[in-house]
Amino acid sequence: MSARADILSNIRRSLGVTGEEAPRLTNVEQRISTAPRGLSVGRSQLPRQGQIDLFKQQAESALASLTELDSYEAVPAAVADYLRSNNLPAALRIGHDPRLDGLDWGSTAIDLLHGPSDGQDMAGLNHAFSGVAETGTLVMTASAENPTTINFLPDYALVVLHEKDITGDYESMWANLRQTYGKGTMPRVVNWVTGPSRSGDIEQVILLGAHGPRRLHILMIKEQD
Amino acid sequence: MTDQAASRRPIRVGLFVTCLVDLMRPSIGFAALKLLEQAGCSVEVPSQTCCGQPAYNSGDRANSRALAEQVIRAFSHCDYVVAPSGSCAGMIRKHYPELFADDPNLAPKARLLAGKTHELTSFLVDILGVRQVEAKYDGSVTYHDSCSGLRELKVKSQPRTLLASVQGLTLVEMNESEVCCGFGGTFAVKYGEISTAIVEKKTENIANAHTHTLLAGDLGCLMNMAGKLSREGKPIAVRHVAEVLAGMTDEPPIAAPASSTL
Amino acid sequence: MTAHPTTSRFKDNAHEALGDDQLQKAMLNVRAGFIDKRAAVAAKLPEFEALRDSARDIKNHTLAHLDLYLERYEQKVIEAGGHVHWARTAEEARQIIIDLCQKSDAKIVTKGKSMISEEIALNAALSKAGITPVETDLGEYIIQLRDEAPSHIIAPAVHLNASQVESDFRRVHTHLDADRDLQEPVQLLTEARQVLRDRFLSADIGITGANFLVAETGSSIIVTNEGNGDLTQTLPKTHIVIASIEKLVPTLEDVSQILRVLARSATGQEMSVYTTFSTGPRRATDVDGPENYHVVLLDNGRSSMLGTDFQDMLRCIRCGACMNHCPVYHAVGGHAYGWVYPGPMGAVLTPTLLGVDKAGHLPNASTFCGRCESVCPVRIPLPKMMRHWREAEFSRHLTPATQRFGLAFWAFFAKRPALYKNLTPWLMSLMHLLGRDKGYLRALPLASGWTDSRDFPTPQGGTFQSLYRKQKSNGRAA
């Protein structure tokens, strides 16, 4: 017998089932098709502005920094400011996100490098799919527009997040993701990012910048009235 | 006066003193007896030996069942079973039903007994509604929360509530009062070195509370901590909480000589 | 790597650990690093206890339907362009991975932290096959340099201090300036980051574990703080996930519930820094990510735990809270347990994987204080399961003779109340006389484990029952 058949039949023997029982099949089918939300967490059940404030507070307590911008057009100047204030070279790794590409980078001195990171970049910028207020978590999805390597290789990770893309809890984020990608279909990678990289492996003291970015900076675009 | 005490028939409590108290320190049994009678209970002491926990925790189900059956037979006529120990009360309350889960004859009896078995201080506070005792104790005490009582029976506030009513007594909390003292029944002998390392941390925390007395609700833990404090030469009086609550502190503390001035 | 378990030498291991001052100092970090943080973060979430129930229920539901969820998961991985391999044993899993490495002519393999990799002793097998495994989690990297096993499931190097790490780095990183300053932990971290960055970029294959596998989507999930797992799986051409079959959960919602208790229980964080959901290999729309995506599903005895007293253990999400709160673990550290899984979860799991005849000490070396169960995010009744192992040992006559004899002796009297009643008052009075002056005995036959380091309190004399009956017959008011 193949290992697969062996393992499955051993599971069924242990559970005392055949794998054909209708109620079990129905249970599994229903669980997956309805994907019940489970217990909801009160802290994120807030009016809109409360969720946004909670996101900011939680992201900052996870040691991310955050700047609020009045418009998407303000991104290049904000990035230039950030690079300058951290004494970084005026170079930025980005993917091919049309939203980021469409900005007027020419008004800054920033050198744009397009495509995935090769590990030589000091700073990179991606556009977040969502932000989850309950823990200040950014949700990044992999694509040519926003390559995964940009989330992990540069020392400074910058992320653009629309205020309108903030959800209260993870479940609401999944609901949006299913709307975008279709039920049961996932982007190749979904990265939840809560603060910059860190390690406590030496004497249980938390140090930032283990393998991923040393700093995480969020550029949050305010909702237009 | 409590509600029960006011009713016509006093409630009948079977006192399960535990084998350790029976053998090592009868004064705890008399203290428990006094506290229960003061609260209006009619107390009896059925003939008893051991709840079976040492056998149970050693994997010896046959002997643990035999001993558990003995306890069920001896105590099932009582309204309540009360033990001056969270560990033994926990054994009856939490583990007897499990021990007889597959025995259609004894399972209901085990569950019935489990439902009416309580640790002494939680019985006084939670069941009888006692908030005050008539006792006096001059000195500061610190309290160790024994594991079974704390985690199986949620005994935490009850002894403190009662201690707060003892005249002259001040309670000083030690660090990590909820951390195990390293006793663990036969563990203390089987893994003596590890047990010692654990109790050393405990006596350090006890000493750092700078109190005259250490109290707890389980004699096994008390013997362990008293034995270590004695070997370390730390002059701290060790007693079961019932002795202080009953105002019965004439006997020397645990592991202290008859001439003790503690 | 500990190819040869030393679980049967637990007592000797513990003895050494107790005499190791450096280790004892390092173990103090466990309390400060984990316990207070967990308590604080749990207190900030009113639903925390209810979420533990929810996590337990999700895992129970999954285990009861495990065959079906595995099939569903496999189908989704294949739909996403990945491959699923099934391994009955550690040997089969190692072989599958080595074959995959050899097929792509891999020389260097980077690895994210995986306890399953430790369980199947993968690194030794890779090395033997001429493939260089590089652990990339900082703690795992450090212990790999030392050729040690992890001493904790989420903090593998918790037994070490910074100066030990410094000397390991100086010993191994000989290409760097010998006079460099490595006094501060942050300098050690920076050096490891530089050294490993090159490895990430040059690796042929990346191997990670999985915290969860999602049946709904065919996703594997890793949870890290460093980002090493992501670099491991994103940069090489091939990503291999090695995971045991009980990692399944039904849906994204289910895993979200469990994630809410995982980091909080493990490190006291609200959420770990990186939680990554991976579904298949690089797509046409991608510019990075692995071209090949393989999942190795390991059974290694787990399917036989279903339907037994030990099924609940399969809920374990490897957070480490049980060991963080265990007084025995605090005292002796993780290596004393002698194999991959230490602490209470190891005391239950190791006997199922190595045999209770070899790992029998582990479930016995517990005071049953219950603190592990009180913090377990999926409410595994760990003491109860250790007791099941003790029962198995007792019925197979594996319990040490002195203990058996002592128990039988005690039970003989305890089962005969009349004999007990007649004998014990005399015996206790005799012991009372022996230790009356001091109030304690300094030595007791057969109990040196106690009296070597502790005095044994003298009994008061007589027994409660004999004194009580005497009082009653003397006319004490009833």
Q: Are strands C274-278 and A189-193 parallel, antiparallel or unpaired?
A: antiparallel
pLDDT of residue C1: 41
Q: Tell me which residues of chain C, numbers 413 to 472, contact chain B at a CB-CB cutoff of 8 Å.
A: 413-415, 417, 420-421, 424, 428, 436-440, 446-450, 452-460, 462-465, 467-468
For residue C314, give the DSSP letter.
G
Domain range enclosing C443: 416-473
Task: Calculate mean pLDDT across residues C71-95.
Answer: 98
Between residues A126 and C399, which one has the greater pLDDT? A126
Chains linked to A by 3 or more Cβ pairs within 8 Å: C
Q: Are B54 and C406 in contact (CB under 8 A)?
A: no
Cross-chain CB nearest to B184 (options C368, C392, C410): C368
**CATH architecture for the domain at A48-221:** 3-Layer(aba) Sandwich (3.40)
Judge if C72 and C217 occupy the same domain.
yes
Q: Does A199 touch chain C (CB under 8 A)?
A: yes
Q: Give the pLDDT band (50/70/90) at residue B230.
A: very high
Task: Calculate mean pLDDT across residues C23-29.
Answer: 94
For residue C454, give the DSSP letter.
S
The domain locations on chain A are 1-30, 48-221
Structure tokens at A161: 């997040």
Q: What's chain C's average pLDDT?
A: 95
Per residue, what are the HEC states of chain A? Answer: CCHHHHHHHHHHHHHCCCCCCHHHHHHHHHHHHHCCCCCCCHHHCCCHHHHHHHHHHHHHHCCCEEEEECCHHHHHHHHHHHHHHCCCCCEEEECCCHHHHCCCHHHCCCEEEECCCCCCCCEEEEECCEEECCCCEEEEECCCCCCHHHHHCCCEEEEEEEHHHEECCHHHHHHHHHHHHCCCCCCCEEEEECCCCEECCCCCCCEECCCCCCEEEEEEECCCC
Backbone angles phi, psi at A158, to 5 degrees: -110, 140
Q: Give the pLDDT band (50/70/90) at residue C434.
A: confident
pLDDT of residue C33: 81
Count of structural domains, chain C? 2
pLDDT of residue C444: 86
Query: Pick from C270, C304, C338: which residue ends a domain?
Result: C304
Looking up tokens 């809890």, which residue turns up? A169
Can you tell me whether residue C138 is helix, strand or coil?
helix
CB pairs under 8 A between A and C: 272
Here the CATH number for the domain that contains residue C222 is 3.40.50.10420
Task: Please tell me the distance from the alpha carbon of residue C335 to that of residue C118, in angstroms, as a whole number.
Answer: 13
Is the predicted pLDDT of residue B170 greater than 60, yes or no?
A: yes
Q: How many Cα atoms are found within 13 Å in the side-chain-facing hemisphere of A201?
A: 33
Task: Please tell me the distance from the alpha carbon of residue A214 to that of residue A64, in angstroms, as a whole number.
Answer: 10
Task: Please tell me the distance from the alpha carbon of residue C317 to that of residue C115, in angstroms, as a whole number.
Answer: 11
Distance from the Cα of C476 to chain A's closest Cα (Å) equals 59
Is the predicted pLDDT of residue A8 greater than 50, yes or no?
A: yes
Q: How many residues does chain A have?
A: 225
Q: Does B192 touch chain C (CB under 8 A)?
A: yes
Q: What is the pLDDT of residues C301-348, one digit of tens each?
A: 999 999 999 999 999 999 999 999 999 999 999 999 999 999 999 999
Is the predicted pLDDT of residue B8 greater than 90, yes or no?
A: no
Percent of chain C with pLDDT over 90: 91
**Can you name the CATH fold of B3-126?**
Rossmann fold (3.40.50)
Residue C75 falls within a domain, yes or no?
yes
Backbone angles phi, psi at B237, to 5 degrees: -70, 135
Considering the four listed CATH numbers 3.40.605.10, 3.40.50.2020, 3.10.20.30, 3.40.50.11810, the one that applies to the domain covering B131-245 is: 3.40.50.11810
Residue C6 falls within a domain, yes or no?
no
Q: What is the pLDDT of residues A86-142, one digit of tens each?
A: 999 999 999 999 999 999 999 999 999 999 999 999 999 999 999 999 999 999 999
Q: List strands edge to edge, sheet with B136-143.
A: B167-171, B136-143, B213-216, B237-240
Q: Are A152 and C231 in contact (CB under 8 A)?
A: yes
Between residues C447 and B82, which one has the greater pLDDT? B82
Q: List strands edge to edge, sheet with A137-141.
A: A166-167, A130-132, A137-141, A189-193, C274-278, C219-224, C212-214, C248-249
Structure tokens at C327: 């007084």
pLDDT of residue A30: 98
Range(s) for CATH 3.40.50.11810 in chain B? 131-245
Task: Calculate mean pLDDT across residues C346-365.
Answer: 96
Q: Return the H-helix or E-strand segment holding B139.
A: strand B136-143
Can you tell me whether residue C248 is helix, strand or coil?
strand
pLDDT of residue A224: 76
Q: Are C13 and C340 in contact (CB under 8 A)?
A: no
Q: Give the pLDDT band (50/70/90) at residue B6.
A: low
Q: Does A17 touch chain C (CB under 8 A)?
A: yes
Q: Give the pLDDT band (50/70/90) at residue B1.
A: very low
Query: Pick from C284, C304, C324: which residue ends a domain?
Result: C304
Q: Tell me which residues of chain C, numbers 339 to 398, contact chain A at a CB-CB cutoff of 8 Å.
A: none
Query: Pick from C256, C280, C304: which residue ends a domain?
Result: C304
Structure tokens at C125: 């097998």
Residue C385 falls within a domain, yes or no?
no
Task: Please tell me the distance from the alpha carbon of residue A112 to that of residue A72, in angstroms, as a whole number.
Answer: 17
Is the predicted pLDDT of residue A4 greater than 70, yes or no?
A: yes
Residue C272 falls within a domain, yes or no?
yes
This model of the complex carries an ipTM of 0.98
Q: Are C320 and B175 in contact (CB under 8 A)?
A: no
CB atoms within 10 A of CB B136: 12
Structure tokens at B55: 């056998």
Q: Does B136 touch chain C (CB under 8 A)?
A: no
Q: Tell me which residues of chain C, numbers 340 to 369, contact chain B at a CB-CB cutoff of 8 Å.
A: 364-369
Q: What's chain A's average pLDDT?
A: 96
pLDDT of residue C4: 83
Q: What is the pLDDT of residues C269-287, one digit of tens each?
A: 999 999 999 999 999 999 9
Task: Please tell me the distance from the alpha carbon of residue C109 to that of residue C128, in angstroms, as a whole number.
Answer: 13
